[in-house]
Amino acid sequence: MSLRQIALIACMNLVATTVHGSPIWIDWSTGATQTFSNSSGNTGTISYTDSFTSLTAGSTTSPQSGFPFGDPVKILDVEFQRQNASITFTFSNVSPDDGTIFTLGDLQRGSKYLVTAYDSSNTPISLTSWTYLGEYPIYPHYDLNLWNPSTGVMEGPGPDNTENIFLGLTSNTASIRVDFVYNNLVEALNFGIGQNVPEPSTLLLAGVAMLMWLSLSTKRVNPAHRVTQCPLLDCEPLQRCLPDGRCEHEHAHTPQQPVALERGDHSSTRAV
């Protein structure tokens, strides 16, 4: 395998398997509309509207060792909720991607969330296309949720408050609405949105591989040695591709052809 092939494969693998770092959680402490940038660097805003009786910006550190989504988690926190309510998140001039995380939880027994999502045409989208990233406590609660992505219903089975579920969004998600269904228990709820960003070390490696590929692919080649039938990247650097598909070094010995030498009868030839 040629050096150019190795560089190209390394570059493709690094780009395809870019490792995400800890997410950057949206900090709502300065208002209901915040700047949002996706993994591609496209920037717009994300905002929310709600009907909860008490909703404030906060942050919390997960009690679980090895929590994979970064601490602290910036959230919108609801305290002492005693009636049905809803919250809607809207992306403007930017789309989320598979690095965008939505989290919610802290349900008590019998209380429910009904989650619906819409595209930019306000058409409902299937939540089965979102990626289920798991359940983790962001407070010291250990009950798992009953989550059904086909219906969007998330329920607390009790007896304790539930952990948070973490969901990876899709690029066609333009808005998310969560309806809270009250069940005669005083509730403390939470919601959060974060964006994964690539690890700097991974970006550096991808850049090095790309530079290798560009360097090797731009080496000067004698135009006389370019053969259109040759497979792409088949030869090593400083080699040429012969019409029969073989590779040969630029300065490889080429047998010389007989050259006619003039003699008196113009009939003799010899190799020089």
115, part of any domain: yes
Per DSSP (E only), the strands in 196-255 are 239-241, 247-249
65, part of any domain: yes
> What is the rounded CA–CA span in Å between residue 247 and residue 234?
8
156, part of any domain: yes
31 and 164 together in one domain: yes
Give the model's pLDDT for residue 221: 44
How many domains, the chain?
A: 2
155 and 233 together in one domain: no
12, part of any domain: no
42, part of any domain: yes
- Calculate the CA dihedral of residues 125, 126, 129, 135 and round it to 10 degrees: 110
Host domain of residue 262: 222-270
The DSSP code for 224 is G
203, part of any domain: no
Residue spans of the chain under pLDDT 70: 1-21, 198-235, 237-238, 243-245, 249-272
146, part of any domain: yes
191 and 57 together in one domain: yes
Using only C-alpha atoms, what is the Rg of the chain?
A: 31
Query: What is the torsional sign of CA 155, 110, 179, 52?
Result: negative
52 and 134 together in one domain: yes
149 and 255 together in one domain: no
Q: Which two tokens stand for residue 195?
A: 């964006």
Residue corresponding to tokens 């269904």: 181
Pairing state of beta strands 187-195 and 153-155? unpaired
208, part of any domain: no
226 and 189 together in one domain: no
How does DSSP assign 10-59, residue by residue? HHHHHHHTPPB-S-EE--GGG-SEEEEE-TT--EEEEEEEE--SSEEEEE
Q: What is the pLDDT of residues 160-208, one digit of tens each?
A: 899 999 999 999 999 999 999 998 888 889 999 999 976 554 444 444 4
CATH of the domain at 182: 2.60.120
> What is the rounded CA–CA span in Å between residue 232 and residue 215?
16
Residue corresponding to tokens 């809803």: 86
> What is the rounded CA–CA span in Å between residue 86 and residue 63?
28
Residue corresponding to tokens 């952990």: 163
Residue ending a domain, choose from 143, 176, 195: 195
The DSSP code for 223 is G
